[in-house]
Structure 1
Amino acid sequence: MSLFPMAELVPHSGDMVLLDEVVRYDVDEVETRVKVKAGGLFNQADGSLPAWLGVELMAQSIAAFAGCHAREADKPVALGFLLGTRKFECNVEAFPLGAELHIKALRSLQDDNGMAVFECHLNGPGIHATARLNVFQPPDATQFLQESCEATQHV
């Protein structure tokens, strides 16, 4: 059973919430789980998920990590951004239907401005994927987005 409902941890809605549960979290690490089910937004014809979706599963795990800490502090879940990934490697082309995947994300760096780096691992039956994700959670996402839009309009 999940520590918190996933829909309350990530700023996604409906079918875009891809994870099933947070297995555990602490000050610098989170472990999540998902079982590959048919009929999702990203399923291939055979029910599998393409391996590149591993990056999104890792990013949602980081969002769940932030959401757990926000809930623990009695604060609202805040919007964050995946800035990029480095060294995504996966030993399979797809995650098969029915596979149970475990994702671990370990925060290796965070600055005072909301930038962070997480070392991520995704494992399942015969499956191993790794990546380093760079993320950003601004103190005020609404203001950040507004400033970004205004800057774009002036270009």
Structure 2
Amino acid sequence: MMDQLTAFENLDIRTLLPHSGTMVLLDRLLHAGAEELLAEVTIRADSLFCRQHGVPAWVGVEYMAQAIAAYAGYTAQQRGEEVKIGFLLGTRRYEAACAEFAIGSVLQVQVHRLLQADNGIGSFECHIRASTSTQQLASATITVFQPVDAAVFLEGSTE
């Protein structure tokens, strides 16, 4: 169930993501709220990871992770803060109803925050659906980590 949402017409989703260039896999932000975000991606022949007929379904994990990153960027901007990097810690129960997302498919990626701890760890319930139906194509629970200062965190991880 979607919480109180704001719809977006002209917001460039890249402003919410710490990714750049071809690593931005999502096309646009549809809705965002205090606990959820809905993004969209169109599978094209030139999409990153695309094979002959489409994008392998395992890439859905990255679509979900980027939707979570967009959610984090959206909530940071709502607080007047900068967009920061985060880390995918793990995925539980990733299930895909297809082997690949076909070229021409328009996918909606929905993420719902289940938990956000003070130490930066969060958990999200995620779903990918075709925009033209309610058919669920993939689902998972994803755990992420966003340190207060990523540079300090990464520096400390090499010692």
If the length of structure 2 is used for normalisation, what is the TM-score? 0.89
| CA deviation after TM superposition for structure 1 residue 49, in Å | 0.4
Q: Map 1:6-155 onto structure 2 (within 5 A).
A: 6-46=13-53, 48-124=54-130, 127-150=136-159
Aligned twin of 2:3: none
Report the RMSD for the aligned CA atoms in angstroms: 1.3
Aligned twin of 1:153: none
Q: Is the 8 A contact 2:64 2:109 kept in 1?
A: yes
Q: For residue 158 of structure 2, give the secondary structure of its aligned residue in structure 1.
A: helix
In 2, the alpha carbon distance for the partners of 1:62 and 1:140 equals: 18
| CA deviation after TM superposition for structure 1 residue 120, in Å | 0.3
| CA deviation after TM superposition for structure 1 residue 127, in Å | 5.0
If the length of structure 1 is used for normalisation, what is the TM-score? 0.91
Q: Is the 8 A contact 1:119 1:132 kept in 2?
A: yes
In 2, the alpha carbon distance for the partners of 1:95 and 1:59 equals: 17
In 2, the alpha carbon distance for the partners of 1:3 and 1:74 equals: 20
| CA deviation after TM superposition for structure 1 residue 136, in Å | 0.3
In the TM superposition, structure 1's runs of 4+ consecutive aligned residues that sit over 2 Å from their partners are 1-4
C-alpha offsets along residues 20-73 of structure 1, whole Å, 9 cap, x if unaligned?
111111111111111111112200023x10000000000000000011111222
Q: Percent identity?
A: 43
In 2, the alpha carbon distance for the partners of 1:42 and 1:54 equals: 11
**Letter in structure 1 aligned against 2:29:** V
Aligned residue pairs total 149
In 1, the alpha carbon distance for the partners of 2:44 and 2:69 equals: 21
